[in-house]
Amino acid sequence: MRRLAWLLALGALAAACAVPLDPPPSGAPAGDEPPRSGGVLRLGDAEDPRYLDPARGYDVVSWSFEQMLFNTLVEYDQGTNIVPGLVETWTTSPDGRHLSFRLRHDVVFSTGRPFTAADVKFSLERLLKPSIHSQGAEFFHGLEGATDYIAGAAKEVRGIRVPAPDRVEFDLIGIDPLFLHKLAMPFAAVVDREAVERFGDDDFNAHPVGTGAFVLQEWVYGQRLRLARNPRYFRAGRPYLDAVEATIGVSPQLAWLKYQRGELDVATIPPAEYHRVLADPRYRPLLISRTTLRTNYLGLNCEVAPFDRVAVRQAMNLAINKQRLLELADGQGAIANSILPPDMPGAGPVAGYPHDPEAARLKLGEAGLADGFETTLWAYRDPEALRPAQSIQEDLHLIGVTVNLKPVDFPALIEAVRHPGTVSLFLLGWEADFPDPSNFLTVLLHSRSRDTNNNTFYANPEVDHLLDEAEPLLVNDPRRFRLFHEAEVLVMRDAPWVPLLHPAGSAVRHPRVRDLELHPLRPSRVEGVWLAW
């Protein structure tokens, strides 16, 4: 009996004590030695990439590998500026409808065949082929003759011209200030025509051939994916790595443990460990973090009572404690006071709403709802997504609003919010495809987007007008950003959203991994990454 008491006491003690945080893999996290070639970068992914064919992939994992295998004509620098990729220079006509690119001469596909303008035309026409069913095709519908080509009325896209092997020209139906950004998307990557013809459109996915820094060496589905250095890569001395090997079937939790044991070179930090890792000096030099072009928001359906009243929507904005939401995210990010993320070009200060429950109550009183009301909040089922949801539930409880939580699967959530009159309140986030205000304001808040991504069913003719006016203006035209800003101020006054957070992305690296950076819009690029040992 006494032994039992001891055991119980020990058990209680164990239950009360946290397991100490394991140290990161050992080694000097930085040094002044020059970049060194060689080594294999070891990654872990939960699932195989859905695609390696750039015409089809539209998710982070697919894109992270496609970026290694292929190049685009233009690409992003470490931030959101467009820089040359496969081209040396380009010019845009004064009316913005004609773009002309001069290609690099030193680029070859990994098979050794030289890269020419005809490959660019082939790749984009393949992307537009209806049989490919590419989600990226719509970005290129503005090319002259694209509609005829898609309808089968033309054998080629008139608006993609190849006047010389090192020149490619694009003609657009109208001004498209974002065309360069579209060309920087992995969808527009140049694929090897010969490989596509040899393997066919579908099998190309398993035999991808491009001009990229790496070539696919082995893909054992469900087990591992190995990409080896492309010795013919056109950027001299790159990549530094001999290979990138991704182990498949590694959940984020497992990846974290394998990282701590030194078996993986990069991992994301499990939310439960954030706090301890951030506070631990051993981990601090290994942490990579950066703000992304993302806004998490509480959507208020403007067509459903009582959110059809501005005062109620403003009350929601005043009621929510965003500081606590940031604390729940362990400070990883920034509080959102407006729609656009702060790193978005053209984002300017917007007054926003303070956290003021008393003012929120008054606003509800203004709308004749002083006694509160009952509503349902739809949110993603994941426990980490339900934490902010419960925090919001509690905030609204304090102003007399009873919120029933409806946790659903993610596909069900994005499906449900599109149906008019179905979801009155929802938690979602949006990450920019392009670094341009239109990618938030027009895509999510223009009345014509109500059947796609405007899930709050917000419609304000004044806002529509400003957005329509801004849309065709070139990116360097100062009026463009001013008009978008005016639209954003109006949207915030009408309050279809409660912007919550701009979350930051973060990861930890093995101390031997050098020059790995996170990108605000794209997966990290690895061609500049090297291993110190």
| Binding-site ranges for another protein (CB under 8 A) | 14-19, 21, 253, 270-273, 275-276, 324, 327-328, 330, 381, 383, 386-387, 389-391, 393-394, 397, 404-407
Residue type, 394: E
Identity of the residue, 17 or 153, whose beta carbon is nearer to another protein in the bound complex: 17
Shortest reach from residue 391's CB to another protein, in Å = 6
Identity of the residue, 167 or 406, whose beta carbon is nearer to another protein in the bound complex: 406
Shortest reach from residue 407's CB to another protein, in Å = 6
Shortest reach from residue 6's CB to another protein, in Å = 17
Identity of the residue, 313 or 322, whose beta carbon is nearer to another protein in the bound complex: 322
Residue 109 has phi, psi (to 5 degrees) of: -70, 165
Whole-number Å distance between alpha carbons of 249 and 247: 7
Long-range pairs, 452-458, Cβ under 8 A, ≥24:
452/418, 455/299, 455/301, 455/417, 455/418, 455/423, 455/426, 455/428, 456/299, 456/300, 456/301, 456/302, 456/496, 456/497, 457/301, 457/302, 457/303, 457/420, 458/302, 458/491, 458/494, 458/496
Identity of the residue, 390 or 447, whose beta carbon is nearer to another protein in the bound complex: 390
State the burial class of residue 429 (Cβ atoms within 10 Å of its Cβ: 0-12, 13-18, 19+). middle
Which token pair is 206? 């398993």
Shortest reach from residue 35's CB to another protein, in Å = 36
Of 61, 199, 54, 49, nearest to 123 by C-alpha is 54
Shortest reach from residue 18's CB to another protein, in Å = 6
Shortest reach from residue 336's CB to another protein, in Å = 18
Residue whose pair of structure tokens reads 């309808």 in the numeric block: 151
Whole-number Å distance between alpha carbons of 69 and 172: 28
Q: Give the dihedral sign, CA 252/278/287/332.
A: positive
Identity of the residue, 196 or 403, whose beta carbon is nearer to another protein in the bound complex: 403
Shortest reach from residue 259's CB to another protein, in Å = 15
Which token pair is 385? 């997504």
CB of 513 closer than 8 Å to CB of 265: yes
Residue whose pair of structure tokens reads 């992003």 in the numeric block: 76
Identity of the residue, 12 or 28, whose beta carbon is nearer to another protein in the bound complex: 12
Q: Could you check whether the bond before residue 499 is cis, i.e. omega within 30 degrees of 0?
A: no
Shortest reach from residue 387's CB to another protein, in Å = 6
Residue 138 has phi, psi (to 5 degrees) of: -60, -25
Identity of the residue, 38 or 383, whose beta carbon is nearer to another protein in the bound complex: 383
Element counts in the chain: helices (H) and strands (E): 16, 20
CB of 509 closer than 8 Å to CB of 529: no
Identity of the residue, 180 or 386, whose beta carbon is nearer to another protein in the bound complex: 386
Identity of the residue, 147 or 393, whose beta carbon is nearer to another protein in the bound complex: 393
Shortest reach from residue 281's CB to another protein, in Å = 17
Residue whose pair of structure tokens reads 């061609």 in the numeric block: 527
Of 208, 206, 203, nearest to 192 by C-alpha is 208
Shortest reach from residue 87's CB to another protein, in Å = 46
Identity of the residue, 202 or 382, whose beta carbon is nearer to another protein in the bound complex: 382
Q: Can you list the alpha helix ranges (DSSP code H) found in 81-145? A: 117-128
CB of 507 closer than 8 Å to CB of 256: no
Residue whose pair of structure tokens reads 């499906």 in the numeric block: 415
Cross-strand partners of 79? none
Shortest reach from residue 395's CB to another protein, in Å = 9
Shortest reach from residue 489's CB to another protein, in Å = 32
DSSP designation for 30? -
Which token pair is 462? 């004044």
Identity of the residue, 103 or 396, whose beta carbon is nearer to another protein in the bound complex: 396
Identity of the residue, 100 or 393, whose beta carbon is nearer to another protein in the bound complex: 393
Identity of the residue, 14 or 151, whose beta carbon is nearer to another protein in the bound complex: 14
Shortest reach from residue 325's CB to another protein, in Å = 9
Residues shown for the chain: 533
Of 190, 221, 189, 219, nearest to 207 by C-alpha is 219
Shortest reach from residue 222's CB to another protein, in Å = 24
Whole-number Å distance between alpha carbons of 103 and 90: 9
Identity of the residue, 168 or 500, whose beta carbon is nearer to another protein in the bound complex: 500
